[in-house]
Amino acid sequence: MRVLGIDPGTATTGYGIIDGHEGQVTTVTYGAIQTSSKLEMPERLAQIYAELSELIKAYRPDAAAIEELFFGRNVTTAITVGQARGVLILALTHAGIPIAEYKPAVIKQTIAGYGQADKAQMQLMVRHLLDLEETPRPDDAADGLAIAITHYQYQQYQALM
């Protein structure tokens, strides 16, 4: 099963693609879609949509997982991230890819065994689980991989039920 994990954002959208087979996961690719703050929001959203669509065509994931929006104190940030999530979900839906959504605490619990794990703990576990020599950069790419692994693990669990 090939899984695309997405950490949404307007400036940086992290992604990670893994292959999972018989409980083992391997890295296919990871990176980030980065947009310039000099662009107007509609142009940034169009760029995110176009670049994700190209990734989908190139790597053909079987499933996708995206981090659920966490509402913090900064409402403006939450709204813009919500807009990015919308175009990401639209691109996935247009490609016919099933989408799962996971809360940050669920991702942390699945990857690090602790729902309050910090970024360093998460990155260490992503490196360990995928047998990577270096921590994926930018941080958003490591988050995308963590989201993909989480979805694969949940699918494995569902298969046992």
Residue 54 among the catalytic residues: no
133 is known as an active-site residue: no
- 140 is a catalytic site residue: yes
What is the reported pTM?
0.94
pLDDT at position 72 = 65
> Number of H helices and number of E strands within the chain?
5, 5
Q: Exactly one of 54, 67, 68, 131 is catalytic; name it.
A: 67
Structural domain boundaries in the chain: 2-160
Q: Is 72 helix (H, G, I), strand (E, B) or coil?
A: coil
Give the whole-angstrom CA distance, residue 46 versus residue 50.
6
For the chain, which ranges sit under pLDDT 70?
A: 71-73
Q: Are 19 and 79 in contact (CB under 8 A)?
A: no
For the domain spanning 2-160, the CATH number is 3.30.420.10
Per-residue model confidence (pLDDT) at position 45:
98
C-alpha 28/C-alpha 11 separation (Å) is 23
pLDDT given for residue 110 in this prediction: 96
pLDDT at 71: 65
